[in-house]
A and B are shown apart, each in its own frame.
Chain A
């Protein structure tokens, strides 16, 4: 948990993996500040 506390994070999620908003929620709950989050399609 502590590794993200107080850190700014950039999130790129995967349509067929873990989408951005899901990672965003996890990162926020770990104390991170989400500065950018998006989901991309790699296919």
Chain B
């Protein structure tokens, strides 16, 4: 049975105040160097809502612009304004901070998120206008509380403040007095992940045009952990988000693998559908507060705006074959194994060429590669270079070594087989998956046949192994109806008739 990609959802939430209060670059700086110039300078580098709406990479992320459009715009992009500044796009939407804070309360089922009374009164009607938000979500937002009580909770009860335009408008309370895994900090981080995952889920289901009740299984692949002191990563974000999104027939589970999580989750989900275990499986992930402003020091030092101010989210809907949608080819799955090692050539071979070789394909038989799609506008000023381009150079080098392209073709390989990065540096969010919406559109339009999604994960950051990880799979044009399995009744009759004729012939021969 084939698995097809029925739809995708991509969302961004603009959270400039969380850059200041929750990004680890900033929280660390406040501990080690509280009077630093960086912390003083930082607020003046934050972008306003209109600026993020007109930021080219953001418009690509929600689908109003394509990666091809972006590639035609000279870098840097942060000093240019996109000619589209709509917050809604074909893949999803950008959500302003005020709406996102209400979403955080809507996804909270333990009354941990408190918002100030006038804030709720002002912005709840605004959220009600959002086409993805229905009564079931709006009704979860409770009347706000007094601002003085919020200030007390932050000052005396270790609550994590929620700010809007640098004003305290709410807080996330701790869920336990001493359990660090249920601290206000962790609850805040997890609530942000859950809220952005729910929004991505809603966007993807709308785009896929399927009934919520058709979803049987949800896989979450973010990089957070939810649990208590007795089971730190107990889970499960997937089912928690499914509950809020109204997926009453679904259960789910979490898949983790650092930035490679989405690639692993999509291979798992596609296999569940292909095996017939479930008919419809969605893979979802919310974003990460810790990485907000991650490269902020370099951006501020160079007089640039803080571009890591967006929480990302994505969701992919997989179903059984519909005869039209692009399919995931589970025969072309790449994986970095324990024995692969860390030599760049071995890494790229394991993720790209090993699976192609098994299927008699060359590197150039794939129309587009989507490895790590980090926005170079963010990474280049920070000294991390153009990450997608670095990956394309390595794939190209391997293609030269294999004699599939000439040495002179390395320079043009990225243009021909690659995409310009546009995704926010939110770890798992840019890892291969941002291109799925665009690639499916291209495949459905007949402009492309095959694309490879590559996810890479830095397992060594968890200090449990020194190993790197990665996984890849191929999306391809729908290959049409599958040949029915087994043998038809007519064929059985013909086979029996043939066998009887042959038997009769042997009897006649024996008589002669």
Contacts and interface: CB of A to CB of B under 8 A. Distances in A.
Interface residues of A, number: 16
B382 interface: yes
Given A22-B342, A22-B343, A43 B372 contact: yes
Interface in A1-43: 13, 15-22, 25, 38-43
Contacts of A43: 372, 374, 379, 384, 387, 425, 427, 430
Contacts of A25: 343
A38 B374 CA distance: 22
A17 B345 CA distance: 11
Interface in B334-355: 341-344, 347
B391 A15 contact: no
Nearest to A42: B384
Contacts of B342: 13, 19-22, 39
Interface stretch (B6-14, B81-89, B248-256, B460-468): B460-468
B128 interface: no
Interface residues of B, number: 25
Contacts of A38: 460
B458 interface: yes
A40 B468 CA distance: 10
A41 B341 contact: no
A14 B342 CA distance: 11
Contacts of A19: 342-344, 347, 468
A42 B382 contact: yes
B2 interface: no
B456 interface: yes
Contacts of A39: 342, 458, 460, 466, 468
B341 A15 contact: no
Contact of A15 (B343, B379, B430, B468): B468
A16 B456 CA distance: 9
B155 interface: no
Contacts of B324: none
A12 B105 CA distance: 42
17 contacts: A16-B372, A16-B456, A17-B390, A18-B344, A19-B347, A21-B342, A21-B466, A22-B344, A38-B460, A39-B342, A39-B468, A41-B458, A41-B461, A42-B379, A43-B384, A43-B387, A43-B425
Given A16-B387, A39-B342, 4 more contacts: A17-B344, A21-B466, A22-B343, A42-B384
Contacts of B466: 21, 39
A27 to B, nearest CB: 14
Interface string B455-489: 01010110000101000000000000000000000
A15 B458 contact: yes
B250 to A, nearest CB: 32
Given A22-B344, A39-B460, A43-B425, A16 B391 contact: yes
